[in-house]
Structure 1
Amino acid sequence: MSLMVMLTQIVLPVVLLVWLARFPARGWLALGVQALSVAGVLVGLGLAALWVMPPFWVPYLYYGGFLFIVVRHLWNGRFQRDGLWQVSAGQTLLVLLGFALGCLGGYMAYMAYQGRALPAVETVDIAPPFGPGTYLVAHGGSNAMVNVHLKTLDTALERFRPWRGQSRALDIFRISPLGIHKHGWLPSDPARYTTFGTPVLAPCDGEIAKVVDGLEDMPVPVMDREHMAGNYVAINCGQFFVILAHLRKGSVSVSAGDRVDVGGFLGEMGNSGNSSEPHLHVHAQRGLPEQAAFGGEPLALTIDDAFPVRNDRIRVAVPVDR
């Protein structure tokens, strides 16, 4: 867990909840501003931050703690006594600082919510590119608050042009039902991550257009900047191409020209290329330029008609025999 994640997703929420519980402002307006500020930060982090470590259920603990504290203050009559604003100059400065953080959290929450809307661009639908299990969307959505890939839409920057096709991509982890995605504390071995070795399946009927294999799986968090996509498979789905990247070295089982059906085995999730930890990168694009395979026209992507957004969980059930 990085220092920034620890500070923003553990230390900051806990400190704010303790502040609200143990040091409530005097005066109903001051206390109201304090409570709204804490709520803004919690909701903003809950929607915009990536909840993989700590796991996805931790924000709900914070929400529950917040509600308990507010109800306790209501029960004790703190919102009905002490007048309007009965705090010292120092306490006022602290409340206003909290308010500024709350406004930032509110902005994050608003942008993350906006990112849940399907963009007004051409969209294609695919089947889940993985088998039974629980998966968490790390990057996905229609704005940069929840999907870092969108920065490559800016083709004014020459370095982004070869990667424009992946601008609406998804990054996906495999997690346990309780949200655990690795074994140990900051393991460098990619095999200690739940995602590593998970089968990658064809999300459409089509023909294999391009295959890259043989690149090493990097130790976490080292990234291969020379081969950004790592090992990958590109499938011609008819009207569009789907590319699945960062695959495990030596796991790709298909070759260019092979026909595949939905659910056909392609390879395994790995940690090759520009990958900070094992995950599956998947995107759809129009065209497959020969010199820059990721440089096609980006398309929005849905999986089984659902638009995956950061922190969404995708559950694929085990088929029932009949």
Structure 2
Amino acid sequence: MPWMVIFTQIALPVLLLIWLALFPAAGLFSLGLQALSVGAVLSGIGLAALWTMPPYWVPYLYYGVFAVIVAWHLFRSRFSGEGFWRASAGPTTLVLVALGFGCVGGYMAYMAYQGKTVPAVETADIAPPFGPGTYLVAHGGSTNMVNIHLHTLNRSIERFIPWRGQSRAMDIFRISSLGLHKDGWLPSDPARYLTFGTPVLSPCDGAIAKVVDGIEDMKVPDMNRDNMAGNYVAIDCGRFFVIVAHLRQGSIPVQPGDRVETGNPLGEMGNSGNSSEPHLHIHAQRGLPEEAPFGGKPLALTIDGVFPVRNDRIRVKGTVPQ
């Protein structure tokens, strides 16, 4: 939701940095707790939040400002001669409150960082499923903090069973050199998103196993829950299947049974199905059940040997398509 993004990714970090800069605790210990808490919150938000608007480089700006503020306080020796803990009741209370926020931020940062670990499951390595350009991973990684798809691993919830194959999926945006991916704050027209219409390429040599097309692209943020995957293509890569989903209506040039080589066009990124905004969904699975095509055995996915996680950039060299 836009207001949540404004609060968590703009207002909260800025207010914490202003507080640390202008209202530092007096004592060494309390100032250390204050700085530690602010740093933990910034790290937690920076690693766990999805940075598309504001763009991915904004957390690094926060980290830089934080480092300058801490260095300035150390340079001025603001705590010199003030004792181990010297702060009035008001600032002390604020430091303790911030410490609570810091614990939450630290937990978020830890879980997001753990998401970078390649899970101990079978892995499928593929080529980039798109052409030259810069792409941002929106959902990806091995913890729920950075990959929303993992909740469908829960076998105790019956409605997740037909979707278990996509449990280790990635969602990917195309972004500009400045990290932007749309024209405006939250435009409803999917064509105003840089991702929309970007070519999707086969990530492997194989055969087309299944194609679904003809599902309308939704306006943002409407979603089609009756056709969750939207338009999609399933490719039999030999040892595993790869599925690319939420493709643009009418953009798919292949049919079941067609042979494809790595880099052959499969369609275009779109906004069909249960998609809050244009993006590419991609996952690998063992098997392609007839009654539930997304219900195979989920595999971890690497691209050219790299395990992409949330906010990672994937850069493909060459002439960028317009």
Q: TM-score, normalised by structure 1?
A: 0.98
Alignment-derived partner of residue 275 in structure 1:
275
Alignment-derived partner of residue 167 in structure 2:
167
1:110 shift after superposition: 0.7
Q: Distance in 2 between matches of 1:263 and 1:27?
A: 60
Alignment-derived partner of residue 114 in structure 1:
114
Alignment-derived partner of residue 176 in structure 1:
176
- What is the correspondence of 1:211-250 to structure 2 with a 5 Å cutoff? 211-250=211-250
Alignment-derived partner of residue 41 in structure 1:
41
Structure 1 counterpart SS, 2:239: coil
Structure 1 counterpart SS, 2:194: coil
Q: Distance in 2 between matches of 1:256 and 1:130?
A: 20
Q: Distance in 1 between matches of 2:218 and 2:268?
A: 15
1:299 shift after superposition: 0.3
Q: Sequence identity, in percent? A: 72
Tell whether the 8 Å contact from 2:240 to 2:284 is kept in structure 1 after alignment: yes
Alignment-derived partner of residue 134 in structure 1:
134
Tell whether the 8 Å contact from 2:53 to 2:185 is kept in structure 1 after alignment: no
Stretch deviating more after TM superposition (80-89 or 21-30): 80-89
Alignment-derived partner of residue 195 in structure 2:
195
Q: Distance in 1 between matches of 2:216 and 2:81?
A: 65
Q: Distance in 1 between matches of 2:79 and 2:177?
A: 40
Structure 1 counterpart SS, 2:20: helix
Alignment-derived partner of residue 76 in structure 1:
76
The residue type paired with residue 5 of structure 1 is V
Unaligned runs of 5+ in 2: none
Indicate whether 1:298 and 2:290 are aligned.
Answer: no
Alignment-derived partner of residue 103 in structure 1:
103
Alignment-derived partner of residue 16 in structure 2:
16
Query: What root-mean-square deviation, in Å, do the aligned CA atoms of Structure 1 and Structure 2 show?
Result: 0.9
Q: Distance in 1 between matches of 2:234 and 2:148?
A: 21
Tell whether the 8 Å contact from 2:128 to 2:304 is kept in structure 1 after alignment: yes
Q: CA deviation digits over 1:106-139, x for unaligned, max 9?
A: 1111111111010000001000000000000000
Q: Distance in 2 between matches of 1:314 and 1:291?
A: 34
Aligned residues: 319
Q: CA deviation digits over 1:134-182, x for unaligned, max 9?
A: 0000000011011000000001100100000000000000000110100
Structure 1 counterpart SS, 2:131: coil
1:93 shift after superposition: 1.5
Structure 1 counterpart SS, 2:223: coil
The residue type paired with residue 199 of structure 1 is P
Structure 2 counterpart SS, 1:19: helix
Q: Distance in 1 between matches of 2:183 and 2:91?
A: 43
Q: Distance in 2 between matches of 1:58 and 1:156?
A: 39
Indicate whether 1:125 and 2:128 are aligned.
Answer: no
Tell whether the 8 Å contact from 1:208 to 1:259 is kept in structure 2 after alignment: yes
Unaligned runs of 5+ in 1: none
The residue type paired with residue 216 of structure 1 is E
Alignment-derived partner of residue 66 in structure 1:
66
Q: Distance in 2 between matches of 1:186 and 1:273?
A: 18
Q: Distance in 1 between matches of 2:119 and 2:216?
A: 35
Q: Distance in 2 between matches of 1:185 and 1:139?
A: 20
Tell whether the 8 Å contact from 1:227 to 1:274 is kept in structure 2 after alignment: yes
Alignment-derived partner of residue 4 in structure 1:
4
Tell whether the 8 Å contact from 1:40 to 1:105 is kept in structure 2 after alignment: yes
Structure 2 counterpart SS, 1:146: coil
Structure 1 counterpart SS, 2:281: strand
1:186 shift after superposition: 1.2
1:206 shift after superposition: 0.5
Q: CA deviation digits over 1:164-207, x for unaligned, max 9?
A: 00000000000001101001231000000000000000000001
Q: TM-score, normalised by structure 2?
A: 0.98
Tell whether the 8 Å contact from 1:139 to 1:310 is kept in structure 2 after alignment: yes
Q: Distance in 1 between matches of 2:23 and 2:118?
A: 42
1:90 shift after superposition: 2.5
1:82 shift after superposition: 1.1
Alignment-derived partner of residue 154 in structure 2:
154
Q: CA deviation digits over 1:67-90, x for unaligned, max 9?
A: 111111011111333111112222
Q: Distance in 2 between matches of 1:6 and 1:159?
A: 33
The residue type paired with residue 206 of structure 2 is G
Which segments of structure 1 move beyond 6 Å, counting only runs of 4 or more? none
Tell whether the 8 Å contact from 2:174 to 2:194 is kept in structure 1 after alignment: yes
Q: CA deviation digits over 1:2-48, x for unaligned, max 9?
A: 10011000000000000000100111111110000000000111111
